[in-house]
Amino acid sequence: MDCSDMKKIWLVVIALCVVSNTHQLCYCANAKPQVPCFFIFGDSLSDGGNNNKLSTWAKVNYPPYGIDYPNGPTGRFCNGRTTVDILAEYLGFNNSIPAFASSKGFKIREGVNYASGSAGILKRTGRHMGVNISLRKQLKYHRMILTRLADKFGSKKAAIRHLNKCLYWVGTGSNDYINNYFSPQFYSTSSQYNPEQFATLLIEQYRHHIMRLYKYGATKVALVGLGRIGCTPNSLALHKTNGSHCVDHMNNAVQYFNVKLLTLVDQLNTNLTNAKFIYINTYGMGGGDPTAAGFKVWDVGCCPVNNVGQCVPLEKPCENRRDYVFWDSFHPTEAINMITASRIYNAYDLSDSYPMDVNKLVQLSMDEAIY
């Protein structure tokens, strides 16, 4: 779906703040953050280390991951920073938002990253890889953080007032396709639902989770559409392209989800007038010729991979990482994340706050048990 057809994404035409030859980020390091807190829900595209101590194949706290990250391997599925790391810098945070697994003290008032590799909207998604933190469980953890914040701020009302000003990023659903629907050797969903029916199933569960987040005080929520999963090196290696550059039936399937997600965003904005929901069109951002942005390799990853498409531990990756679109068989390089973050930051209004009736939300957000 073209961006010009989207009525409620608050598109702003601003020049991209990327210096192509150095991929340096343009932001003022000493500026006050544009939002006081940033909470992140999602999968391996945003995971900051939550899977490190879980029993799963979907963890990457070893070299060569993190080869370009200041702290080395942290559990990020990238050679360097993820898109949300860079967005946090754009928003004025001096450090990346900490993973839930390592969150502590009053720093949680600036946000927490709950994202988990292989996780999705459906509880079962990705479980053939081992344990993960589904979106449902990420919300459960968020409720725990809310309770801790209420203790820190001295009251539930004060915590809600603070959380009311935060930015919430929800980017999930890719694994429901890659590690569920298109993995029939482990899951039966593709025999139970056609692509449109499966997208409907996902969106209905997604709607429930987003309403839960809203009841916890979220009034500024970015809902991230799914990217072109049929163009990853893993998809190209496992599925026939029939002469296309990508696996078209996979990309077509996620477009059903994206169209329904955009409809959901419109409905939420219509029904919840004291909140703002933004659809992030990553599918549209992922189109075009990668060579036009200076990339030379897009059909294989930069590092040698194992049988689950992740970098082989300690194996030497490519040296010219800025030439590659993909780091491993699924995840983009920091160079791509730089461009993606810049486009998102400059195209969408991520900093406005929408105050809510605090008294109305306190009971809902703090006392309502998550199912």
Q: Round to whole Å and give the CA distance between 27 and 168.
A: 20
pLDDT at res. 291:
86
Q: Which residue has the tokens 């477009």?
A: 255
240: three-class secondary structure by DSSP: coil
β-pairing, 297-301 with 276-280?
Answer: unpaired
Is residue 323 classed exposed, middle or buried when 0-12, 13-18 and 19+ CB atoms within 10 A define those classes?
middle
Q: Round to whole Å and give the CA distance between 97 and 88.
A: 7
56: three-class secondary structure by DSSP: strand
pLDDT at res. 133:
98
CB-CB contact of 305 with 328 (8 Å): yes
Predicted confidence (pLDDT) at residue 12 exceeds the cutoff of 80: no
Mean pLDDT of 75-83: 98
Q: Round to whole Å and give the CA distance between 181 and 177.
A: 5
Longest CA span, the chain = 62
CATH code: domain of residue 281: 3.40.50.1110
Mean pLDDT of 40-61: 98
Tell me the catalytic residues.
44, 328, 331
pLDDT tens-digit series, residues 156-207: 999 999 999 999 999 999 999 999 999 999 999 999 999 999 999 999 999 9
Domain assignment of residue 18, yes or no: no
Predicted confidence (pLDDT) at residue 78 exceeds the cutoff of 90: yes
Domain assignment of residue 307, yes or no: yes
Domain assignment of residue 237, yes or no: yes
Domain assignment of residue 369, yes or no: no
Concatenated DSSP letters for 298-345?
Answer: EEEESS-B-TTSSBPTT----S-GGGEEESSSS-B-HHHHHHHHHHHH
Identify the domain containing residue 231 by its residue range: 27-363
Mean pLDDT of 220-237: 97
pLDDT at res. 304:
98
Q: What percent of the chain has pLDDT over 90?
A: 81
Q: Round to whole Å and give the CA distance between 256 and 195.
A: 7
Name the β-bridge partners of 297: 324
Mean pLDDT of 16-39: 58
The total of structural domains in the chain comes to 1
Alpha helix (H) ranges present in the chain?
Answer: 83-90, 135-153, 156-163, 174-176, 189-192, 195-215, 233-238, 248-271, 282-285, 334-347, 358-367
Question: How would residue 10 be classed by pLDDT, with cut points 50, 70 and 90?
Answer: very low
pLDDT tens-digit series, residues 291-331: 888 999 999 999 999 999 999 999 999 999 999 999 999 99
Q: Which two tokens stand for residue 128?
A: 């053939």
Q: Round to whole Å and give the CA distance between 336 and 225.
A: 17
Q: Round to whole Å and give the CA distance between 289 and 291.
A: 5
Using CA atoms, how far residue 55 sits from 129, 259, 304, 308, in Å, is 9, 35, 23, 15
Q: Which residue has the tokens 């559990």?
A: 75
The interaxial angle of helices 156-163 and 135-153, nearest 10 deg, is 120
Domain assignment of residue 349, yes or no: yes
Domain assignment of residue 11, yes or no: no
Domain assignment of residue 13, yes or no: no
Domain assignment of residue 268, yes or no: yes
**Of 20 and 103, which is predicted with more confidence?**
103
Lowest mean pLDDT among 3-12, 43-52, 123-132, 279-288: 3-12
CB-CB contact of 312 with 65 (8 Å): no
